[in-house]
Chains A and B, each alone.
Chain A
Amino acid sequence: MSDNILKIRDLDVFAGETQVLRDVDLTIHPGEVHILLGPNGSGKSSLLQAIMGVPPFRVTKGDIRLNGRSICDLTPDQRAALGFGMAYQKPPEIDGVTLTALAHVMRADATFATEAAALDMADFAQREVNVGFSGGEIKRWEVLKLFLQNPQFLLFDEPESGVDLEHIAAVGAAIERLARSRTANGAKRAALVITHTGFILDYVKADTAHMMVDGRIIATGDPKEMFEQVKSNGYHAA
């Protein structure tokens, strides 16, 4: 067994004919929470979606490994089965499918009942997935969804954007609680979190931050220091 959960090496990714990631290297160990900063269009969401295997992103060079196993040839459901889970930034609406029905298909009825209350979503049980949700409701559902899925490696794409102040503490606390908990098999989890505002850092204790610009990771360091640097100097390596 490898001692790192996620290891990305020398990764190039294309969306159609456009290259979106170049020479990305990233290693995340068990129990760690990393954050990813960068301007709009820098490739942050592309990296998360490439890890999850979501179209249209395709790896043309390098490798992504989970617990030592290459996953580049796997479909999203196979990656999910190995332990990946992703909270989307802009998830699609699934008409006619209620949260309850989806939790049932995921065999997570009991977890839904307990965790929905923690995220103030108990009243959403019969709502259709993401249909008519506000920006904040989408983010709360996307976090709740990961509790149902119970993955070992958590990917969060801007989990705090659009969330009102009343709920951001609940979302942050839920992410921290999930990231610091262990899987059903007793394994430590790890997480990669994209954030623009940094609000989430008030609730989630991040270990490392990475700055992404033009599809490359150009700096790695302490999360709070890096955020202060971005606030004063913009997205430039120190």
Chain B
Amino acid sequence: MNIQITQSPLSDAEKTTLSKVGYVAESERAATVVIADQEVRHISINDDQVEILPIAEALKKYVWVQELYFGLIDVNEAEEVQHLARSADTPVGHFIRVKAGAKLEQPIQSFCLLETPQVRQVLHNITVIEEGAQASVISGSSVADGVHTGQHTCLCETYLRERARCESLSIEQWAKDVDVMSYDRADVAKSAHCSSNKVMVSPVRNHCSRTSTTVGEDATAKDQSIVFAPQGTTRMMEGEIHLRGERAHAESLTRMVTAGGTIGNNAMLVGEADDTEGFLGCDGLKLTSDGEILSVPALRALSEKSQLSHEASVGMVSEEKLAYLESLGLTEDSANELIVQGFLNLKEQEMPAPVRETVKDMISAAKSGSM
């Protein structure tokens, strides 16, 4: 085992904080990268089929990385993006590369952390899973103990090359006065497979996310997001999936719960090529009379041989289900919580056990207003 440490070792406090969003001992991970505030704090590599560098170093080391930088994100997409693209500051972020043909036995873990109150963290990350490589990535976002204010802006560009496979799990645990803006782009090349799970259940002041995935010939992209908005939290999500290559396939499921917060979800599936198939599922649950869910699934077919469908629902917790569980002896609160957790589909096989417990705790705490 060859563990290579760059930058600083993590403190015990940092490890404890990050363990709630997926961090485990680095000997059990192919590689680890942690960005704290505005620096790449820690990188360790446990598998030489993985390369991780601060993005600034990667841009210098590899000419081709310059082609990937703003390769998927349009610099004119938003004023904020324009500003970042033109900034003279050294960019901060990570570059993760899984080498061609690699079959990683352990996941890569990647984290960002706000350690200073009111800090503004601006990141630009690039991930490349090369031809035929297989990897899983667990990423988490959190704040240090006592920090509940700050800003996090992140531009993420992910490239899955031909026949690559990547499964990812992303868990965020920001704080109630943190503002988050994220731009995620992914290019899933021919015959590649991408599966992504996102958990966004802790309080945050505003989280705006814009995601776009392009799916190539014979490629598949599946994503599942669970979203929770307690009082004081606003989450606005805009997502697009473009089925660009023939026989491309995509499935996107979003489960949203508001306990007084606001959730907006605009999801669009675009069938651009022949024999493509896609499904959008957007379901919302409203726990109180406060708050709002706006769910707008949209389908756009450019090919007559594209098969697209969607399902959407928004409603309160079913009185019938509550009564069923109450008649088993569960209190109304316990029954409600079980229904919400079930709705958010926290399946054991899709989430590491410590993270699953954290998510359950987040939902309980957020509903009770203690977070």
Contact = CB atoms under 8 A, between A and B. Distances in A.
B324 A77 contact: no
Interface in A44-89: 52-55, 75-77, 79-81, 84-86, 88
Given A77-B332, A105-B334, A105-B338, A96 B326 contact: no
Given A92-B318, A94-B321, A105-B334, A77 B342 contact: no
A170 interface: no
Nearest to A91: B324
B343 interface: yes
**Chain A, interface residues (CB within 8 Å), range:** 20 to 34
Given A92-B318, A92-B320, A96-B347, A80 B328 contact: yes
A172 to B, nearest CB: 22
A86 B327 contact: yes
Nearest to A149: B328
Interface in A85-144: 85-86, 88, 91-92, 94-97, 101-102, 105-106, 128
Give the interface SS of chain B, mostly helix, strand, loop or mixed. Answer: helix
A210 interface: no
A101 B328 CA distance: 14
Contacts of B118: none
Give the interface SS of chain A, mostly helix, strand, loop or mixed. Answer: mixed
A178 to B, nearest CB: 15
B82 interface: no
Contacts of B325: 94
B338 A102 contact: yes
A145 interface: yes
Interface in A178-228: none
Interface in B286-336: 318-321, 323-332, 334-335
Contacts of B334: 105
A128 B342 contact: yes
Given A92-B318, A102-B338, A80 B347 contact: no
Contacts of A148: 328
A75 B332 contact: yes
Contacts of B68: none
Nearest to A52: B327
A79 B342 contact: no
Contacts of B328: 80, 85, 102, 106, 145, 148-149
Contacts of A128: 342
B215 interface: no
B111 to A, nearest CB: 27
Q: Which of A84, A101, A148 has the most CB of B within 10 A?
A: A101
Contacts of A88: 324
A91 B325 CA distance: 10
A102 B334 CA distance: 11
Contact of A77 (B319, B330, B338, B345): B330
Q: Which of B324, B329, B332, B342 has the most CB of A within 10 A?
A: B329
A94 B342 contact: yes
7 contacts: A53-B323, A77-B330, A91-B324, A96-B343, A102-B328, A105-B338, A106-B328
Closest 9 CB pairs of A and B: A96-B342, A97-B342, A80-B329, A76-B326, A77-B326, A76-B327, A96-B345, A54-B323, A92-B321
Given A52-B327, A94-B321, A102-B338, 13 more contacts: A55-B320, A75-B332, A76-B323, A77-B329, A77-B332, A92-B324, A94-B339, A95-B342, A96-B342, A96-B344, A97-B341, A105-B330, A106-B328
